[in-house]
Amino acid sequence: MSTPISIRLTLNGTAREAAAEPRKTLADFLREDCGATGTHLGCEHGVCGACTVIVDGDPVRSCLMLAVQAQGTEITTIEGLADGDEMNPLQRAMKAAHGFQCGFCTPGFLMSITAMLDENPNPSETEIRETLSGNLCRCTGYESILKGVIGAITATNGSNA
């Protein structure tokens, strides 16, 4: 153990500060110290993608990043997508597509999709599949998730992916 370090960051638009040991992962920091339990841990070794959050615009596996490395960053998690109870277009499209089942992989998928669409608002199906191959879902077989992504693209752009 070593002395906790004070970490300041912006989480879903709100400034947060908490102390954490240098070894604490960003995922644990978000969940335990910021109370943001929407981010889930599925493997804790960087494969399943459930813990994906957006750090300064990039999708990051928060189980592989230390909280201290997030000092001063701007982080978006699943809790930052909706406006109160009002879902954003991606969430609404996923609901319409019955995108997810158990919901455990959901935060990672939503954040990976959000980052993907921020960079490329109109990806092809191949690009979608390649980008999302780093997120594992055990329930859906991915069919409904892909449908939800395409629904979100259509809703936002009014065009087909």
Q: Which residues bind another protein (CB under 8 A)?
A: 1, 21, 23-24, 31-32, 36-45, 47-48, 50, 77-79, 81-82, 85, 87, 91, 94-98, 100-107, 110, 128-130, 132-146
Compute the least distance from the CB of residue 40 to another protein, in Å. Answer: 7
Q: Which residues of 33-51 are buried (b: 16+ CB within 10 A; e: fewer)?
A: bbebebbbbbeeeeebbbb
Tell me the C-alpha distance between 112 and 109, whole Å. 5
Name which of 72 and 154 has its Cβ closer to another protein: 154
Name which of 45 and 72 has its Cβ closer to another protein: 45
Q: Which residues contact 35 (CB under 8 A, 6 or more apart)?
A: none
Compute the least distance from the CB of residue 156 to another protein, in Å. Answer: 16
Compute the least distance from the CB of residue 103 to another protein, in Å. Answer: 3
Q: Under a CB-based contact definition with an 8 Å cutoff, are residues 10 and 16 in contact?
A: yes
Name which of 78 and 117 has its Cβ closer to another protein: 78
- β-pairing verdict for 74-76 and 14-20: unpaired
